[in-house]
Structure 1
Amino acid sequence: MRTTVSQALAAVRNIGILAHVDAGKTTVTERILFLAGEIHKHGEVHDGTTVTDFDAQERERGITIFAAAVACEWNGHRLTVIDTPGHVDFSDEVERSLRVLDGAVAVFDAVAGVEPQSESVWRRADRYGVPRIAFVNKMDRAGADFDKAVDSIKRRLHPAPVAVQLPIGSEGGFTGVVDLVRMRALTWTAGGVAVQPIPDELLATSRQRRRALEEEVAERHSTVLEEFCLGPVSDETLIAALRELTLTGEIVPVLCGAAYRDIGVEPLLDAVVGYLPSPLDRPPIEAGRTLRPDPAESLVALVFKVQATGTGRLTFVRMYSGTLAKGDQVLDAGAGRVERVGRILRVQADRHREVESAVAGDIVALVGPKAARVGATLCAPGTPIQLEPPVAAEPVLSVAVEARNSAEAERLSAALVRLAEEDPSLVVRTDPDSGQTLLGGLGELHLEVAVEKIRRDRGIAVTVGRPQVAYREMPVRGVRGLRYRHAKQSGGPGQFAEVVIDVEPTDAARDFEFHSTVGGGRVPPEYVRAVEAGCRDALADGPLAGHPVLGVRVTLTDGATHPVDSSERAFRTAGRLALRAALRPEAMTLLEPLVELTVTVPEDAVGVVLGDLAARRGRVLDSAVRGGSSVVTATAPLAEVFGYATRLRGRTQGRGTFTTRPAGYAPAPVRW
């Protein structure tokens, strides 16, 4: 029985499709579903007919906004594929997906190579240790260059990309690939894929590339090294080594194709099955106890997505341990709440199939839990455990929202709460000065989509104010030896805490650092932790204009306690008030968020674009020519980028495009 369970888990692949916007992720996903027999006709992004881009806004805008899970089978393996957004405004969807995935396919444009959001999602996958393979898509485009794309992966992402294929033909003449692992040619026609001998004109190059592949793998794998020194490496040895090195992240196998023309997707699926990990291949999770993907162990599952549908609330979970059956009760470990699971669904984007149970390694949706939030751990009531949740990004932009009709104000409040439950990167708060309700998010498009969702799904007429930038504050001068005594008597037990702190500025890229050099037990460890918590409280609103504070290092150097009146509460209060006293307005500066823009325009429009960027306080980082277009990379204040899309279209007769990503903070030109 145990062997059967292990075999079933070994045949599971939970993967994500990651890429920059417009690299072809959704098209790749659509072809995977078609080849696996899940759909009988593949849809197209530009027609709004794809399976995973099922939301009305996704189809209208032609982009992926919400991560969507689909399931299929390939060569006896069960695949769960999550198609993730490529736009930076929806990067939190990618973050939450990566937290529960075992492997990923990174899709790159054969002309552009590594683009800004490609780099962002790659770094996120690094953070979670997710093994990857790379797929260079759109090999049929004018200017496509496989070798340049592989080189850009090596230069910008710094892994060891290993090309396991060689393209046959180029641009419009691209017809297939040479499989360098099995030394054969794969070509595609209207009838499908054909396996053939390598064409004579590519034979010598293929042999050189195969030997180079063996050499790259031999540098990292002892078994391959032994065979390499004696002669050719066998296909079986090379395949086994490629899998081992992919699982450890030492290499990234690179394949190529043109998904829109149905070229290269079958070997991509073979690579997913052959090189990417099953749940059994991933390291066990340490969370108070060691979790292994065993259906016989107690239940542990992580909520990574919540979605409101017309028929109820869906709670998406990744099962890490145990078995969950319909009707079971589960404990929300963080909230201490027990809820009942009414139904368990296998998800196919917006379609669902009910199943009786789910086991370790599964990704499913639950109907029943009414309050579990994203990041919650669901476990067996008798064995509580809490997993590390995905980290939600901090909003950089906010807009004031209000109902046009006062009678709908209550409905709007409920809709905003539900929206923030579904997407933790959306933050709802009340402005203390104006009393307005502010909706914060990761960019203009993010907020635009959220507001439109309220209008469509809830039928509420909403008025939206001008976007407001999320400024930060940072000290420019520190203070040493600041002593603060908190002493309070109110008739009962008193409060006493004395702290001495040094405060130093760091830089805008860093949040908060806390250290303690107190010796001799003058401040017990639990009080030191309370001082740190108090300092964090003080950073919530700075002295200039009430914005959060960045770039602070606090060192607790001394302190004093009282045998009766000292407590964690007293030291937390002392830490908060001491740091507030240190952060004097005259020693602070205002920070504004920056974005990195990548602007792609015809060569004759570069001068206009550069002038416009300079007027927006932009700083050009790089300029290059790719595929007949000029690509300008620059940083600019977020506040200066509002309305840039309309301006760029007007300046380039509609031929210019741009993408952005967060680039940290910098001092604003005006002190507040």
Structure 2
Amino acid sequence: MLSVRALAVTRSVRSGARGLSMARPLAAASALERDIAKIRNIGISAHIDSGKTTLTERVLFYTGRIKEMHEVRGKDEVGATMDSMELEREKGITIASAATYTTWKDHNINIIDTPGHVDFTIEVERALRVLDGAVLVLCSVGGVQSQTLTVDRQMKRYKVPCIGFVNKCDRPGANPARVTNQLRQKLRHNAAMVQLPIGLEDRMEGVVDLITNEAVYFQGQQGMQVVRTEIPANMSEEVAAKREELIGHLADVNEEIADLFLMGEEPSPEQLKQAIRDAVLARSFTPVFVGTALKNLGVQTLLDGVLEYLPAPNEVESYALDTNDAEKKVPINMGNSEAPFLGLAFKLEQGQFGQLTYLRTYQGVLRKGDFIYNARTDKKVKVPRLVRMHSASMEDVNEVHAGEICAMFGLDCSSGDTFTDGSTSLTMESMFVPNPVISLSIKPKNSTDLASFSKALNRFQRQDPTFRVHLDPESKETISAAWVNFILSWIVQTCNSWFACRMTPQIYKEIMEREYNCPTITGKPKVAFRETMTAPMKFDYIHKKQSGGAGQYGRVQGEIVPLDGDEAADVIFEDETVGQNIPKNFIPAIEKGFREACEKGPLTGSPIQGIKFILKDGNAHAVDSNDMAFTMAGIGAVRQAFQKGSPVVLQPIMQVEIVVPDEFQGTVIGGINKRRGTIMDSETSEGSTVIKAEVPLNDMFGYSSELRAQTQGKGEFAMEYTRHELVLPQVQKELMEEYEKSLKQ
């Protein structure tokens, strides 16, 4: 234990006093822009209501970015800085990710505050795609929850290093140690606490730094005075045990710490910090900080942790794809300002001055007035204005360097486009977007609003990377599908168009009404069923048509086989023909016919998935064979084989997590069983039961009202798409009858 000493460090951001952990004034920010080692691009992510936006508000205040702190939901008629939308302040949730930047200890920090609600997970996806590190915020009572699992998977997908922050330690029932254990057990993190709370619930006073063996108190007005002193005597045993636990977890991933641990020697604070940093960058260790943002405890030490443990842009392995070399991965050189410019447009917004494009720069320098090229369209565009975003406000800049995040106006592009200076063939990898599983129709309430409604649809289609549009060959409707990992995403219908969106019906309806003065009417949700074959089937199909003059002729022979495993959601075409019975120039037409046939199955009109079309032989006519003939032959072959291959209907299965008080556990489980659900696990802790189940999405409509009734309004649930699987025979029969009836109408 350290000798008695007090290192009082008073941060006076407004007065400009200098201390050990004082924030640097923003006026000096321009000098930092060229030092890539002093840049941090971080996201703040978590389950809904874990305190992300409140934490970001405190970060901005303590770093001098804002002069006053405001609360979520706008109780003071102002609202949190990062919730700039009126709807966000009214609902008390983050809907769209917001970007800002600030400085701390001579480091420039770009922050993206992401939504925690399940319906806006695509916002987290697009943020993590361009970030170098993240702060995973966990509620000290709720711990690892359903959306925490989703965020963790996204971080792993993009290999984003993270540190943990157990927030809300002032809440009744707070238990940071239990939350840390959940990180290890549920998320498989090698996690350990680097801080201990001094008191919990309403008795929390500060934290203990396990690395330096110091107590840290946050005193004065709004916790601005950070005082380090000796740890409380009654915590010495707990601190010693937790510090040994921290060293043990580090010893598993760091040889130097392992040697000291085996020899019984105490590592120095500098050795521990370096070991933690190395392990965080390698994603083999997660340090856990504690505090309560609402009560202004632990935020400054978390900021220190961001600088000490999360990577600078040049410490992250980033790759681009070379379009001239079969999309070979090419390492990005962020440290070379002379390298060709490379940037990724990861988000679009419609602002008051037009389309606002958020850009992450990966290589080179971008200056106001430069000409850059869209790698997707090869169009040359001029950069008329460069800004750095602070929520809804912006500040003009003349140039940005590799590793920074900026925004531009006046660019004709879509979300996910890569921009270069025209001297390179590199392009960035796109982000992951899951397939749709549900849709919902909507149309304008008044026919006079069609123009406004269409304008809104065009805007959201342009700025959202999740839209997928195609033309229905029978109804001639334009079908558009978007990301929907959850039940509450929906699809919009107007005139002959379908439009899908990532937001909840209520949120989207309100945005349409407020921003476009366009009230809407929603229809019945529609589940994304799929069809597949369960048995292999050979085909020998001849398309023959004579109508005077040159006709059509195409014969295809082969086999269609079902797929399983990772390929179960795909359709695959394979050419195994030998010789010239079918000229090679007709093979693409056969594949086109196969894929067209898979767009609408014969049972319910749903897309076909999980099959492989193996073309083995066929025949062509010297005069009558053409692309159209072989396209029709491909379509006919699928229809011929599919009907005989024991076709079945697949339905989306949702992973559902329900949190209810113990006394309602039996009733809720009974309700899940009635909905054809399978209980996978249940866990009881401190008066609450967490029930995990798998339930067909088609059986989950109306569950929110049912759960409220079963639990007196005390239960909550979240769900996530997991896979498609077979429907029950009676359900398949009902779906087929419903489809046949719709065809006769």
TM over 0.5: yes
Is the aligned partner of 1:85 residue 2:115?
Answer: yes
Deviates further, 349-358 or 42-51: 42-51
Instruction: Report the Cα offset of residue 36 of structure 1.
Output: 0.9
Is the aligned partner of 1:16 residue 2:76?
Answer: no
Q: Deviations over 1:227-262 (max 9, x none)?
A: 334421122122111111111111111111111111
Which residue is equivalent to 1:454?
Answer: 512
Is the aligned partner of 1:421 residue 2:462?
Answer: yes
Contact kept, 8 Å, 1:397 with 1:440, in 2: the verdict is no
Is the aligned partner of 1:547 residue 2:606?
Answer: yes
Instruction: Report the Cα offset of residue 308 of structure 1.
Output: 0.6
Q: TM-score, normalised by structure 2?
A: 0.82
Structure 1 pair 297–483 and aligned structure 2 pair: CA distance change class (3 A): farther
Instruction: Report the Cα offset of residue 278 of structure 1.
Output: 0.8
Instruction: Report the Cα offset of residue 567 of structure 1.
Output: 9.9
Which residue is equivalent to 1:619?
Answer: 678
Name which of 287, 292, 297 aligns with 2:339. Answer: 297
Which residue is equivalent to 2:438?
Answer: 397
Name which of 351, 356, 380 aligns with 2:421. Answer: 380
Is the aligned partner of 1:444 residue 2:503?
Answer: no
For structure 2, list consecutive stretches of 5 or more residues without a partner in the other structure: 1-30, 323-329, 490-502, 737-745
CA distance in 1 between counterparts of 2:347 and 2:82 reads 15
CA distance in 2 between counterparts of 1:64 and 1:585 reads 50
For structure 1, list consecutive stretches of 5 or more residues without a partner in the other structure: none
Which residue is equivalent to 2:274?
Answer: 240
CA distance in 2 between counterparts of 1:573 and 1:437 reads 22
Instruction: Report the Cα offset of residue 355 of structure 1.
Output: 0.8
CA distance in 2 between counterparts of 1:571 and 1:176 reads 74
How many residue pairs match? The answer is 666
Is the aligned partner of 1:335 residue 2:368?
Answer: no
Is the aligned partner of 1:279 residue 2:313?
Answer: yes
Is the aligned partner of 1:225 residue 2:258?
Answer: yes
Which residue is equivalent to 2:539?
Answer: 482
CA distance in 2 between counterparts of 1:147 and 1:356 reads 47
CA distance in 2 between counterparts of 1:574 and 1:381 reads 43
Structure 1 pair 468–257 and aligned structure 2 pair: CA distance change class (3 A): same
Instruction: Report the Cα offset of residue 366 of structure 1.
Output: 0.6
CA distance in 2 between counterparts of 1:6 and 1:222 reads 35
Q: Deviations over 1:20-77 (max 9, x none)?
A: 1111111111111111111122221243611111212212221111111111111111
Which residue is equivalent to 1:359?
Answer: 401
CA distance in 2 between counterparts of 1:142 and 1:275 reads 30
Deviates further, 533-542 or 326-335: 533-542
CA distance in 1 between counterparts of 2:348 and 2:672 reads 39
Partner SS for 2:416? coil
Partner SS for 1:466? strand
Contact kept, 8 Å, 1:440 with 1:447, in 2: the verdict is no
Which residue is equivalent to 1:605?
Answer: 664
Which residue is equivalent to 2:654?
Answer: 595
Q: Deviations over 1:323-372 (max 9, x none)?
A: 11112222111122222221111001111111111111111111010x31
Name which of 298, 314, 319 aligns with 2:356. Answer: 314
Instruction: Report the Cα offset of residue 646 of structure 1.
Output: 3.1
Structure 1 pair 591–585 and aligned structure 2 pair: CA distance change class (3 A): farther
Which residue is equivalent to 2:387?
Answer: 345
Instruction: Report the Cα offset of residue 80 of structure 1.
Output: 0.8
CA distance in 1 between counterparts of 2:575 and 2:479 reads 41
CA distance in 1 between counterparts of 2:650 and 2:674 reads 20
CA RMSD of aligned residues (A): 3.3
**Aligned amino acid, residue 458 of structure 2:** V
CA distance in 2 between counterparts of 1:278 and 1:526 reads 51
Instruction: Report the Cα offset of residue 598 of structure 1.
Output: 2.3
Which residue is equivalent to 2:704?
Answer: 645
Q: Deviations over 1:629-665 (max 9, x none)?
A: 3333323232333333333334433322222222322
Name which of 224, 243, 259 aligns with 1:210. Answer: 243
Structure 1 pair 486–229 and aligned structure 2 pair: CA distance change class (3 A): farther
Contact kept, 8 Å, 2:594 with 2:613, in 1: the verdict is no
Contact kept, 8 Å, 1:344 with 1:364, in 2: the verdict is yes
Instruction: Report the Cα offset of residue 209 of structure 1.
Output: 2.4
**Aligned amino acid, residue 342 of structure 2:** V
**Aligned amino acid, residue 245 of structure 1:** A
Name which of 474, 496, 500 aligns with 2:558. Answer: 500
Name which of 304, 321, 332 aligns with 1:270. Answer: 304
Instruction: Report the Cα offset of residue 213 of structure 1.
Output: 2.1
Instruction: Report the Cα offset of residue 306 of structure 1.
Output: 0.6
CA distance in 1 between counterparts of 2:343 and 2:74 reads 37
Partner SS for 1:259? coil
Q: Deviations over 1:87-110 (max 9, x none)?
A: 221111111111111111111112
CA distance in 2 between counterparts of 1:241 and 1:497 reads 66
Instruction: Report the Cα offset of residue 506 of structure 1.
Output: 2.1
**Aligned amino acid, residue 295 of structure 2:** R
Structure 1 pair 405–653 and aligned structure 2 pair: CA distance change class (3 A): same
Q: Deviations over 1:486-518 (max 9, x none)?
A: 799998999978552341242698312648594
CA distance in 2 between counterparts of 1:389 and 1:426 reads 14
CA distance in 2 between counterparts of 1:619 and 1:240 reads 46
Contact kept, 8 Å, 1:298 with 1:380, in 2: the verdict is yes
Which residue is equivalent to 2:22?
Answer: none
Contact kept, 8 Å, 2:51 with 2:137, in 1: the verdict is yes
CA distance in 1 between counterparts of 2:471 and 2:40 reads 44
Q: Deviations over 1:263-295 (max 9, x none)?
A: 111111111111111110011414114321133
**Aligned amino acid, residue 625 of structure 1:** T
Instruction: Report the Cα offset of residue 571 of structure 1.
Output: 7.7
CA distance in 1 between counterparts of 2:618 and 2:714 reads 67
Structure 1 pair 298–461 and aligned structure 2 pair: CA distance change class (3 A): same
CA distance in 2 between counterparts of 1:280 and 1:233 reads 28
Is the aligned partner of 1:663 residue 2:722?
Answer: yes
Is the aligned partner of 1:259 residue 2:293?
Answer: yes
1:113-192 correspondence runs (5 A)? 113-191=143-221, 192=223
Deviates further, 359-368 or 430-439: 430-439
Partner SS for 2:432? coil
CA distance in 1 between counterparts of 2:657 and 2:151 reads 16
Larger radius of gyration: 2
CA distance in 2 between counterparts of 1:563 and 1:292 reads 55
Deviates further, 625-634 or 74-83: 625-634
Which residue is equivalent to 2:106?
Answer: 76
Contact kept, 8 Å, 2:320 with 2:429, in 1: the verdict is no
